[in-house]
Amino acid sequence: MSDVKKVRIATCSLAGCFGCHMSLLDIDERLFDLLEAVEFDRTPLTDIKHCSPCDVGIVEGGVCNAENVHVLKEFRKNCKVLVAMGACAITGGLPAMRNNIDLWDCFQEVYQYEGGLEGGQIPNDRELPLPFDKVHPIYEVVKVDYFLPGCPPSGEAIWKFLTDLLAGREPKLDYEQLHYD
């Protein structure tokens, strides 16, 4: 083992589906190479609950509620480089489809009108994060350094992006890695 300090990476999924994290695992055996060079801080893989100072933060998913903002701000505060990974983080993505529906209508449909509900009440426990009127891309809440597009980005794209970043190059994806049909 070399003495070179490993690059510390944190990841999280906000209003996303974890598909981008699954895609990260799709780099398969190259995970071993990755682990030679990096160590993971807070991620769903390590189950560490809070972020400590890191080199790179990778965020999947958009911002749909108050808790997302707390997590995102914690990442921004601790990570030197912040990456928006996947369509939801970059644009709001699929969860943002609710943006055309009034929040009140949403709540009523889910908690009061849905078949099988009786005397349905809207949950108001203070431990539950409050949802925003609309789902937002993360760049609207914190400064984002890089955008890694795709739904999800392929394992290849993620690998290319990370290896560029680790090598100190400006990350650049080839046309094939940005072309989805």
Partner 1 sequence: MEPCEFPHIEEQLGPILGRHGGDATRLLQILREVQDCFHFIPPEAVSCLASHLNLSRAEVEGVAGFYSFLSLTPRGEYRVLFSDNITDNMLGKAELMQYFCNKLWVEPGKVSEDNLVSVDSTSCTGMCDQGPAALVNGWPLTSLDNNRLDLVAELIRIRKPVAEWPEMLFEVRDNIRRPGMLLGEAFEPGAGIRATLARGAEATLKEVDASNLRGRGGAGFKTASKWSFCHAAIAEEEGSMICDVGGHPERFIVCNADEGEPGTFKDRVLLSSHADLVFEGMTVGARVVGARKGFLYLRGEYRYLLKPLEAVLERRRAAGLLGENILGEAGFVFDIEIHLGAGAYICGEESALIESLEGKRGRPRNRPPFPVTRGYLGRPTVVDNVETFACAARIAEKGGAWFAAMGTAQSTGTKILSISGDCARPGIYEYPFGVTVEEILRDCGTEDAHAVQVSGPSGTLVSWQEFGRRIAFEDLPTAGAFMVFHRQREMFAAAHNFAHFFAHESCGFCTPCRVGTQLQKRIMDKIAGGHGTPADLEELKQLGHILGTMSHCGLGHTAANPVLDTLKKFPGTFERKLKALSFEPAFDLDGALATARSITGRDDEWAHLL
From the list 23-31, 40-48, 124-132, 170-178, the region that binds partner 1 by CB under 8 A is: 124-132
Judged by beta carbon, residue 18 or residue 113, the one nearer partner 1 is 113
Using rule CB under 8 A, residue 81 touches partner 1: no
Q: How far is CA 149 from CA 29, 56, 76, 84, in A?
A: 23, 17, 19, 8
Using rule CB under 8 A, residue 1 touches partner 1: no
Residue 57: which of 142, 157, 132, 140 has the closest Cα? 142
Using rule CB under 8 A, residue 103 touches partner 1: yes
Using rule CB under 8 A, residue 131 touches partner 1: yes
- Burial string for 95-117 (b: 16+ CB within 10 Å, else e) reads bbebeeeeeeeeeeeeeeeeeee
Residue with the two structure tokens 């943002």? 96
Using rule CB under 8 A, residue 100 touches partner 1: no
Q: Given candidates 22, 25, 48, 66, which one binds partner 1 under the rule CB under 8 A?
A: 66
Bridging pattern class, strands 131-136 and 7-13: unpaired
Judged by beta carbon, residue 69 or residue 83, the one nearer partner 1 is 69
Using rule CB under 8 A, residue 48 touches partner 1: no
From the list 19-27, 35-43, 48-56, 118-126, the region that binds partner 1 by CB under 8 A is: 118-126
Q: Given candidates 40, 129, 145, 151, which one binds partner 1 under the rule CB under 8 A?
A: 129
Q: Given candidates 1, 4, 130, 167, which one binds partner 1 under the rule CB under 8 A?
A: 130
> What does the binding site for partner 1 look like in residue numbers (CB under 8 A)?
66, 69, 103-104, 107, 122-124, 126-127, 129-134, 136, 139-143
